């Protein structure tokens, strides 16, 4: 059974960058779970059938970051059968082969509560908005408003709200470089791998 690293946190905190680095460093597969709903939406047709038949190669499409894919994702994410199929996909992915790093919003709390490592990567809304603004441009005050609105939606939803698992290691990247955050995360993973090897 594979070794699972669950990385949760709000948008633009750095969790995707940390997840990719950790996966590469420790020879694990990486799943950006946010792409799942985008892939189902982009595949078109019956969303339930698409979710049940989803394959890892569907996540490599080059149109998944588009605005249209994002809008389609939010439509299909409201369908309970789609959510159930994608939860099953994530759990299978986490345990296949040597294991995997999954990043999202409910990995440590809902998808893989038994993960060997749980990290919650966060930063202040102002820092995250500034990072997003540097990446996308536009009006920084508007970006901050959108970040706060997304946080409120993610943290306030009834189904799988965004919150750290009780046993997650908190990494606040507000005053850290991405390199420092990655090294901190790698240290946590390394210690857990040593414990798993000794167990």
Q: Which residues define the annotated binding site?
A: 9-17
Specify binding-site residues for ATP.
9-17
| CA gap 43, 76 in Å, rounded | 11
Instruction: Taking each helix axis as running N to C, give the angle between helix 67-76 and helix 34-43, from 0 to 180 degrees, rounded to the nearest 10.
Output: 90
Long-range contacts of range 154-158, CB-CB < 8 Å, 24 or more positions apart?
154/10, 154/105
| CA gap 95, 56 in Å, rounded | 14
């Amino acid at each position: 059974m594979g070794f699972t690293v669950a990385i949760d946190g709000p948008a633009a905190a750095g969790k995707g960058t940390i997840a990719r680095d950790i996966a590469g460093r420790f020879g694990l597969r990486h799943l950006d779970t946010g792409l799942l709903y985008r892939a189902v939406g982009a595949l078109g047709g019956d969303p339930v059938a698409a979710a049940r038949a989803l394959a890892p190669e569907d996540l490599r499409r080059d149109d998944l970051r588009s605005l249209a894919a994002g809008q389609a994702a939010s439509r299909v994410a409201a369908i309970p059968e789609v959510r159930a199929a994608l939860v099953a996909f994530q759990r299978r992915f986490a345990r296949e082969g040597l294991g995997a790093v999954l990043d999202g919003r409910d990995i440590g709390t809902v998808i893989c509560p038994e993960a060997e490592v749980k990290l919650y990567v966060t930063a202040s809304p102002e820092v995250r908005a500034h990072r997003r603004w540097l990446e996308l441009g536009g009006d920084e005050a508007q970006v901050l408003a959108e970040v706060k609105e997304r946080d409120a939606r993610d943290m306030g939803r009834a189904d799988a709200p965004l919150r750290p698992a009780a046993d997650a290691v908190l990494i606040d990247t507000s005053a850290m470089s991405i390199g420092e955050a990655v090294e901190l995360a790698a240290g946590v993973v390394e210690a857990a791998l040593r414990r798993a090897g000794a167990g």
